[in-house]
Chain A
Amino acid sequence: EAGVTQFPSHSVIEKGQTVTLRCDPISGHDNLYWYRRVMGKEIKFLLHFVKESKQDESGMPNNRFLAERTGGTYSTLKVQPAELEDSGVYFCASSQRGAPGLDEQYFGPGTRLTVT
């Protein structure tokens, strides 16, 4: 069974440009999460999808970030326009039921975004 995949693995863009990150969850997992780790800081929650609906987007930094999950399958996270402080590693995770303690979140390898 394939794990959570993320594309690209690395992205280097200039300030002001647009970048779109993609996450493919494990097949059959209704819950999809985005997290971000800025260098030197802790991993922080961005948002949570249940199927195609946003269950919790309390961690989204600002309106330059747009997350979508088409048809409840893969998800994209677009940053437009990118700023220097957006640099970091963006992780995607998926789980089957979304119940804490009963349901493991499986993480992808992350996308390393560098904004110059």
Chain B
Amino acid sequence: AQSVTQLGSHVSVSEGALVLLRCNYSSSVPPYLFWYVQYPNQGLQLLLKYTSAATLVKGINGFEAEFKKSETSFHLTKPSAHMSDAAEYFCAVSKNNAGNMLTFGGGTRLMVKP
């Protein structure tokens, strides 16, 4: 069985500060890992994904995440937060086979202070 844990249901940063959203996973097989973002009144949008190629994955809007197998982590970072980054972020894992269901973490709401 797979599971995803996101540490911190709410994270607050100042504009221009580093964003770090934590995600740890457990999986019996090498996983595919994803970060999604949900802006108010919108659907989830894919930020980036890890699919066993490069361990450092770059996504949209300046976000990136690093897959660390030894730590079973896939933390999301952005060097400098912008007000428009305020949203809810979800880490998800999918098995390395067909049947593409996603298993999500609980979500982290990012607040950006001016």
Tell me how many residue pairs across A and B have CB atoms closer than 8 Å: 70
Q: Is B104 within 8 A of A43, CB to CB? A: yes
Does residue A85 face the partner (Cβ distance < 8 Å to B)?
Answer: no
Q: Assess whether A106 is interfacial by the CB under 8 Å rule.
A: yes
Mark A residues whose CB is within 8 Å of B: 3-4, 31, 33, 35, 41-45, 48, 55-56, 59, 91, 93, 95, 98-110
> Contacts A91-B43, A107-B43, A107-B44: A101 and B94 contacting too (C-beta < 8 A)?
yes
- Which of the four size classes fits the interface of chain B? 20 to 34
Q: A33-B101, A101-B52, A109-B41 are in contact. List 6 more A-B contacts (CB 8 A).
A: A3-B43, A4-B43, A48-B99, A99-B100, A100-B32, A107-B36
Task: Determine the chain B residues whose CB is within 8 A of the CB of A104 once the complex forms.
Answer: 46, 49
Evaluate contact between B90 and A105: CB separation under 8 angstroms: no
Q: Judge if B95 is at the interface, Cβ distance under 8 Å.
A: yes
- Which residues of B sit under 8 angstroms from A106, Cβ to Cβ? 43
Partner of A91 from B32, B44, B106 at Cβ < 8 Å:
B44
B84 at the A interface (CB under 8 A): no
In the complex, which residues of chain B have a beta carbon less than 8 angstroms from the beta carbon of A33?
100-102
CA distance A3 to B46 in the complex (A): 13
